[in-house]
Structure 1
């Protein structure tokens, strides 16, 4: 026969100061940053047939936010802007450290992004 044991609910704790110190040491690490406007799939034959004037449709609506990726993972979304004749990105939404709902960040075009506050 066993008796039930009641435990007090767990309370969230603040991150240990050591974590922020470790993160501080990584701020000078160089990462690849890219902006993805969309993706599609096609057969190898269709890809080989591409040439000047070919048009490739992407699975993203015009005017929809584009993805900002760091090392292949979506970290934010935003809108394309022009800065002195070069493209840029105005960030509109930023993902949390593990995605919007605490899950692992998904590959491009699939990652959830938290609304900007």
Structure 2
């Protein structure tokens, strides 16, 4: 019987501690009191937004990201080879890629396909002329 009394005392102490903690937070410990009185609902006090506060003009928001650097790369093609084949490569070796000659190159920004294009020569440097921009829906589909 002594065990039951100590368990009841501990449970009562826990209940009292919870009641005190809830009272400090301003929450009623009585479930009946909460059910009897509906909570008071008020609109949140937000200041009215105006265009001159920096949140209105889309150009101002776009200016924030204009100076962020990204990596643009052009992919000629890909292939999978075994490490044995990789170690046998030497100067003059030819690696077959998954693209055909004349096929458009992939233009990637930070590893994501954004366009396709063809290789051009500009002042003795390689460049790429964009021939197809990937639509936002196709980009989203490729991410999934």
Question: Which bin holds the TM-score, normalised by the shorter protein?
Answer: 0.5 to 0.7
Task: Number of aligned residue pairs: give it.
Answer: 90
Q: Which has the larger radius of gyration?
A: 2
* Larger relative contact order, structure 1 or 2 (CA cutoff 8 Å, min sep 6): 1
Residues in 1 aligned to 2:143 and 2:121: alpha-carbon distance in whole angstroms:
28
User: Structure 1: which 5+ runs fail to align?
Assistant: 1-16, 107-117
Whose helix fraction is larger, Structure 1's or Structure 2's? Answer: 2
2:112 is the counterpart of 1:70: no
Residues in 1 aligned to 2:122 and 2:116: alpha-carbon distance in whole angstroms:
18
Structure 1 length normalisation: TM-score?
Answer: 0.67
Residues in 2 aligned to 1:72 and 1:63: alpha-carbon distance in whole angstroms:
22
Give 1:103 deviation, angstroms. Answer: 1.6
Structure 2 length normalisation: TM-score?
Answer: 0.55
CA contact (8 A) 1:74 1:105 kept: no
Whose strand fraction is larger, Structure 1's or Structure 2's? Answer: 1
Residues in 2 aligned to 1:96 and 1:18: alpha-carbon distance in whole angstroms:
25
